[in-house]
Structure 1
Amino acid sequence: MMNPALTSSRPFPRAAWAHWLLRAALASVFLYTGADKFAGSSIQGFAQIMELPWIIALAVALGEIATGLLVLLGGILPNRMGDAATRLGALFAVPILLGAIFMEHWGQWHFMATASHPLGGMMFQVTLALIALYLMAKGNRT
């Protein structure tokens, strides 16, 4: 007997799993950048580079890790719990991304580093923010 998902009349029967592409993109970036703030130049180094108080830099790093974990867990937790985790993780991403856009990347669209924008422009952060807004709006509804 064939798997019903494979014999569906929909043009892309596995489209219900496509949300994992967005989850993986958002979560991998946030988990990496959050962990890197602890392992790389340290929270103190990040705070100095961004001219932030140490506690805010720590909140950003922990928020990035929480975002990644919640977005991933949201895809595997059942029903309302998973939906809430997805939406909460995506919600955490938005202020972090807006902070990055307005504090560092504003004024340049493309992601390439330049003399005026050594960390690059806002193209990547805007794309991640749109993914986060999509996950926040849709939750686990495919």
Structure 2
Amino acid sequence: MTVQTHVHGSIDSGHGIAATFAPHAHWLLRAGLASVFLFHGLQKFLVSGIEGFAGMMGLPVVIAGLVALAEVLAGAGIIAGATLRGRFGDLVTRLSGLAVAPVMLGAIAMVHWGQWSFVASQSHPMGGMEFQVVLLLLGVYFLIRGNDG
């Protein structure tokens, strides 16, 4: 199916703008996932502190530190994996996607479970699990596809 535009001609799977940018579209997913993970991971180290995060979540400090480290490494790795060539870059991307999964499963189970909508409510002041599920699925996508997607 071809969609006609007035400015750029046709846009379909083999021609035009879509074909030009398609090989780079993975950067949109990578940028979204990496920015969230880097922001939250670095915030735990630099702003709230690992001890503060551990206390808020009722976690041992070691586990809280591992969560923050996983967030930073996953975010950085999703970006770095795309810039590294060959099997090593693919492995970095896949491991980064893998690191996303336990972090998001923990966030869903400990904070957001029981409410789908991300909007904060009286029972879920941190919001529901809608956004966390999307992040989890992005991580699983990069785990499965690596740099092939």
TM-score normalized by structure 1?
A: 0.91
Write out per-residue CA displacement over residues 57-97 of structure 1, whole angstroms, 9 at most, x where no aligned residue: 00000010000111100110001111101000000000000
Write out per-residue CA displacement over residues 1-36 of structure 1, whole angstroms, 9 at most, x where no aligned residue: xxxxxxx93462121111111111111000000000
State the alpha-carbon separation in 1 of the partners of residues 14 and 145 from structure 2.
23
Aligned length: 135
Q: Which runs of 5+ in 2 are unaligned?
A: 1-12
State the alpha-carbon separation in 2 of the partners of residues 55 and 62 from structure 1.
10
Q: Which has the larger radius of gyration?
A: 2
**Counterpart residue number, 2:10:** none
Secondary structure of 1:65's counterpart equals helix
Aligned positions of 1:64-83 closer than 5 A: 64-83=71-90
**Counterpart residue number, 2:116:** 109
Alignment of 1:139 onto 2:146: yes
Of 98-107 and 12-21, the range deviating more from structure 2? 12-21
State the alpha-carbon separation in 2 of the partners of residues 97 and 120 from structure 1.
14
Among candidates 34, 42, 47, match of residue 41 of structure 2:
34
Q: Which 4+ runs in 1 deviate beyond 6 A?
A: none
State the alpha-carbon separation in 2 of the partners of residues 134 and 90 from structure 1.
7
**Counterpart residue number, 2:5:** none
Aligned positions of 1:40-79 closer than 5 A: 40-79=47-86
Higher relative contact order (CA 8 A, sep 6+): 1
Give % identity: 51
Q: Which amino acid aligns with 2:24?
A: W
State the alpha-carbon separation in 2 of the partners of residues 43 and 15 from structure 1.
40
